[in-house]
Amino acid sequence: MQPLWLLDSIGSRLIRDEQQAFSDLSISSFGNYFLQLGIWGHSNTFTDNTPIKNRFLITAHSFGEVALVADLDRLPLQDQTIDVVFLPHTLEQCDNHLEILSSCVNTINESGSLIALGFNPASLWGARHLFSGKNFLPGIQRLISPNQYTHWLVHLGFRVEKIHYFHAIIPLRKRHELPLTYKILNPFLCACYMIVARKEIIPLTLENQFIKGKKQTGSLADSMGRATV
């Protein structure tokens, strides 16, 4: 179900900026198949802003016009079939973060991309969420820092290409934009970040390099040990 606060002045301003940031990525060259996991806003809030022809939306719960309802950590899709996977605050609304990301890894094809939206914990929005007892940003279970997000992605075999901070607006109904004179302060003034990461092609393993033309016996450590003798 769509969080009602996304319809008020704070939420609607946020959605507009997120749509703009997403549109600015210019992902027209990212392939033929686009998959969004989880709802944020309406079912077409972001899918209408991508030029990729084949777009699919999978949610954990039935909501409006979605392509499929399924467990996000066990996607019923063939491996390496999707060019772009988009997670709009998806992990922040779930507990099984690594399981969902691992499912994305299996679904994305070689050199495919993952795009993620998140709330910046080190911001005024993050502080208000923390001290409001989660009454602010309802539906968000946990804020995930960009550092933690990128750590997970790198661990799963992605190369982080870009982290974009945006929406430097005080979280009040009356609009107050924050100055961004000093770039070093930008991340701390911006409510949101967008991560763009690309799945890396795994090179030949060290094992294959050491045993070229030979039948391997023992472990990789044994092979390396023999090579240094």
* Domain segments of the chain as ranges: 4-203
Residue 60's pLDDT is what?
Answer: 86
Q: What angle do CA 189, 195, 197 make, to 5 degrees?
A: 160
- Give the integer Cα–Cα distance in Å for 134 and 191: 16
**What percent of the chain stands above pLDDT 90?**
51
Residue 217's pLDDT is what?
Answer: 38
* pLDDT surpasses 50 at 214: no
* pLDDT surpasses 50 at 225: no
Residues 169 and 6: beta-carbon distance below 8 Å? no
Residue 197's pLDDT is what?
Answer: 95
65/85: higher pLDDT? 85
Domain 4-203 belongs in CATH node 3.40.50.150: yes
Q: Taking the CB of residue 121, how many other CB atoms lie within 10 A of it?
A: 17
Residue 180's pLDDT is what?
Answer: 63
Over the stretch 120-176, which tens digit does the pLDDT of each residue have?
A: 999 999 999 999 887 889 889 999 999 999 999 999 999 999 999 999 988 888 777
How is residue 48 written in tokens? Answer: 């209408």
Over the stretch 4-45, which tens digit does the pLDDT of each residue have?
A: 677 778 888 999 999 999 998 866 557 889 999 998 988 889
Closest CA to 22 of 131, 115, 85: 115
Query: What value does the mean pLDDT of the chain take?
Result: 82
Q: How distant is the alpha carbon of residue 124 from its chain centre?
A: 21
Strand order across the beta sheet in which 158-166 lies: 68-69, 54-59, 33-37, 82-88, 108-119, 192-199, 158-166
* pLDDT surpasses 60 at 218: no
* pLDDT surpasses 70 at 215: no
Strand-pairing partners, residue 108, are 82
Residue by residue, what is the 3-state secondary structure of the chain?
CCCHHHHCHHHHHHHHHHHHHHHCCCHHHCCCEEEEECCCCCCCCCHHHCCCCEEEEEECCCCCCCCEECCCCCCCCCCCCEEEEEEECCHHHCCCHHHHHHHHHHHEEEEEEEEEEEECCCCHHHHHHHHCCCCCCCCCCCCCCHHHHHHHHHHCCEEEEEEEEECCECCCCCCCECCCCCHHHHHHHCCEEEEEEEECCCCCCHHHHHCCCCCCCCCHHHHHHHHCC
Strand-pairing partners, residue 177, are 169
Residues 146 and 163: beta-carbon distance below 8 Å? yes
